[in-house]
Amino acid sequence: MRACRKLGVAFTAVYTAEDAASGHVRLAREEGGEKSLFRVSSYHDANELMAVADEAGCTAVHPGYGFFAEDFRFARRVTKRDRKLTFIGPSWKIIRELGDKINTKRLARSLGVPTVPGSDRPIYDEMEAERIAKSVFEFQEQQGIQRPLVLVKASAGGGGMGIEEVYDPDQFRSVYRRIRNYALRQFKDEGVLIEQRITDFNHLEVQIVSDRSGTNPVHFGTRNCSIQSTGLQKRIEVAPGFAPDELEYTFNAGRVLTDIVDYSLTMARKVGYDNVGTWEWIVTRKGDPFLMEVNTRIQVENGVSARISRVRGKEGVDLIAEQIRIGLGQPLGYTQAEIASEGVGIEYRLIAEDPDNNFTPWVGRIEHFQWKDQPWLAMLTHVPRNEPYEIPTEFDPNLALAIIWGKDLEEAKARGLEFLDSLRLEGQNGAGDPLKSNVGFLKANTGRILRF
């Protein structure tokens, strides 16, 4: 909504009953005019969303960070219905092509882009799956890996969903069946991928932006998202992805960053990528990069890349606004040579959860949520700052994104700890137990940011 205001574009927002106290509802009422806010029964009901779009007279749909953001069927419906709308995201054909991990892996391999070892297509046959798993186990044993394991994941999944690790070959069959059944229920596709699980790695991303011509993709640098929960959910994101001028690595970190950017742009050009997207990478301790997947959407962590980015020397890049602007058909308007980065950005995901108990979500009421405003801090939150807020149980208990900037890594880390130390986040559940959050986890892991 803020990006729309910057662009002078009218907006309509939706919310559910569970989200009635969310900050975005208040903002819509304050910033929008008539028909700026509609209540829906579910964010997953495409029919209801289309009805809202028609009633409000919308001309475009922004799918957000999740829900329908990578659903090519939804994107296709938006653009091909009788009252056509613009889908703010890549074209549905590109979402279909790159949203399939198998197609992505095949495309990457055809272009000489390194990918994670394992199957290069969905496996539906149990015996074939067992043969592939056996070969991956044997390969790791040959490499001297002490405790080899296989990664089993839903081919149509994403965001850490539908993934399990198997250490015991005798347990593979039951895990395969469980993931296959989960994939069928959740994604309507029981295809399963069998991959080598690289356990000692850093998780890097490349931020790509391209206009509707699909001919001139540019990048807004790299991010490191290696500090995660036990469920492989990101908790701290840092831009750029390594700090070769400040930290020592056992490999040429600068070269790795250059390589993954070049590989990502090569793929973007090949498919004619025409909006915002992220290429996700694994980098091993030896410095070998492997493409993991492509996210054909704007990601939650886009703000930390935007924070360190400059276009023609000007601060204040807004990648959401760029996504909307080029999604509506405007040309990119600048070249890679006109994009630069300055400093280091850290993004903390503040979540009501118990890191000491497998990051179990915490349910209850927030009574105090306050922080000290700083010129180097941006807080993005839907939680009211000075009034109680009941955390909805229908959604993950994400509370805020805190984006910190520093002129270098050490300053960014020092400022990050200053923010976390000054943060007041208090509440209790129905039994009177105090609020649990990941603030302590974020503090404890700030010291190892960008260290392998």
**Pair of tokens at residue 55:** 């009633």
Catalytic residue annotation = 297
Report how far residue 100's alpha carbon sits from residue 347's, in angstroms, rounded to the nearest whole number.
28
Query: How many other CB atoms sit within 10 Å of the CB of residue 16?
Result: 18
Could you tell me if 374 and 419 are in contact, meaning their C-beta atoms sit under 8 angstroms apart?
A: yes
Output DSSP code: residue 306: H
Residue 346 vs residues 34, 186, 373, 418, 419: alpha-carbon distances, Å = 38, 33, 16, 13, 11
- The residue type of 343 is G
Could you tell me if 15 and 25 are in contact, meaning their C-beta atoms sit under 8 angstroms apart?
A: yes
Report how far residue 150's alpha carbon sits from residue 125's, in angstroms, rounded to the nearest whole number.
17
Output DSSP code: residue 200: S
Q: For residue 98, give every residue at least 6 positions away whose Cβ sits within 8 Å of its Cβ, in sequence order, or none.
A: 90, 104, 107, 271, 273, 277, 294, 296
- The residue type of 10 is A
Output DSSP code: residue 337: G
- Supply the DSSP string of 121-144, one letter for each residue: S-B--HHHHHHHHHHHHHHHHHTT
Report how far residue 249's alpha carbon sits from residue 259's, in angstroms, rounded to the nearest whole number.
16
Q: For residue 174, give every residue at least 6 positions away whose Cβ sits within 8 Å of its Cβ, in sequence order, or none.
A: none
- Bridge partner list, 238: 224, 346
Four-point Cα dihedral 132, 135, 136, 141, nearest 10: 160
**Pair of tokens at residue 52:** 């809202």
Report how far residue 328's alpha carbon sits from residue 340's, in angstroms, rounded to the nearest whole number.
25
The span from the first CA to the last CA of the chain, in angstroms, equals 38
